[in-house]
Amino acid sequence: MKFKLKIWHQKNAKAKGRFETFDIDNISSDTSFLEMLDILNNKLICDGKEPIAFDHDCREGICGMCSLYINGRAHGPDDEITTCQLHMRKFKDGDTIVIEPWRSAAFPVIKDLVVNRHAFDQILQAGGFVSVNTGGVPDGNAIPIAKSDADESMDASACIGCGACVATCKNGSAMLFVAARVSALAKLPQGKVEAAKRAKAMIAKMDELGFGSCTNTQACQAECPKGISIAHIARLNREFLCAKLKD
C-alpha cells in the first residue's frame, strides 16, 4: 500500500508550524500506524533528514502516549482504540492521511506531533491521595463493596489519560478525564473521606489550567479509546454540588 502523508511540523513550542507532505509506499495492511511512522522516520534518517517527533511508549493501548489526530479524529478512523492499535488496513491504498497533534490551549505543542500533557498531572496532584489505611491486599479486599459499585469504579479507572476527550471537545474540556478520576473513588468507601475536597480541588485546577467548559456534546464519550461514559460527568457534578452545599 502507498499513502500521501500530510504531517504537522513544528520545530518547538514558539515556532510557527506547517504541514509537510511525504509519500510512502510498500506498507503492509497489517502494519500498525506507529510502525508506519517508524518506517517513514527510518527513510528520512537514511536520506539525511530530521525524523518526525511523535510520542509512544507501551504500544499496547495502555499508556495513552500515542495521542494523534488523524483525518479529523482522535486516534484515527476506528472506535475504542488508541493510535498504536490502529492498523493501515483501515485506510485505502493511495489515501491521503492528515496527521496532527492534539489541539488544545492546555496541551501546548512541544515539537511536531508531541504535546505537553502535564496539565493532567497537575489535576491529579490537586486531587490528592486516599488517606484510608486498608493494610495489605487481603485487608483491602475484606471491605464490603457492592458489585455494581465496584464495576462502575473499575470502568472509570480504565481512563488512560490520553487526552482524546480534550482534543475532541469543541470547548477543550477535561470533564470526562476529571469525572473518571473522581468517579473511580466516589463509588468506593476508601474515597469518601476526601470526596468533597477532591471534587472541588480538581475542578478548580482544571479551570485554572485553561480547559473549557462542558456543554454535553458527548464527543468525548464517542472518541474515548476506553469507552468511558459521560454518566461519570453527572456523578462529578453531583459530588461537586454536594461539596459546595456542605460549605
Angle between helices 175-186 and 118-127 (to 10 degrees): 30
What does the pLDDT average to over 108-115?
Answer: 96
Last residue of a domain, one of 88, 111, 134: 111
What is the Cα–Cα distance from 240 to 247, expressed in whole angstroms?
Answer: 11
Q: Which residues make beta-bridge pairs with 98?
A: 6
Last residue of a domain, one of 111, 134, 165: 111
Question: Letter for the amino acid at 183?
Answer: S
Q: Which residues make beta-bridge pairs with 114?
A: 111
Task: Calculate the alpha carbon distances from 86 to 34, 56, 59, 225 in Å.
Answer: 8, 13, 10, 11
Angle between helices 175-186 and 231-246 (to 10 degrees): 70
- Kindly state whether residues 124 and 239 are assigned to the same domain: yes
Last residue of a domain, one of 70, 90, 111: 111
Higher pLDDT, 143 or 26: 26
DSSP 26-89: ---TT-BHHHHHHHHHHHHHHTT-PPPP---S-SSSSS-----EETTEET-SSSS--GGG-BGG
What is the Cα–Cα distance from 69 to 11, expressed in whole angstroms?
Answer: 18
Per residue in 150-185, pLDDT tens?
999 999 999 999 999 999 999 999 999 999 999 999
Grid coordinates in use for 186? 466516589
- Kindly state whether residues 221 and 158 are assigned to the same domain: yes
Domain that holds residue 209: 117-246
Grid coordinates in use for 241? 454540588
Q: What is the CATH number of the domain that holds 18?
A: 3.10.20.30
Q: Which residue, among 200, 185, 207, 204, has the nearest Cα to 242 in the 3D structure?
A: 200
Grid coordinates in use for 21? 507532505
What is the Cα–Cα distance from 179 to 172, expressed in whole angstroms?
Answer: 15
Q: Which residue, among 195, 226, 192, has the nearest Cα to 75 in the 3D structure?
A: 226
At residue 138, does pLDDT exceed 90? no
- Kindly state whether residues 198 and 233 are assigned to the same domain: yes
- Kindly state whether residues 100 and 128 are assigned to the same domain: no
Per residue in 185-243, pLDDT tens?
999 888 888 999 999 999 999 999 999 999 999 999 999 999 999 999 999 999 999 99
Domain tally, the chain = 2
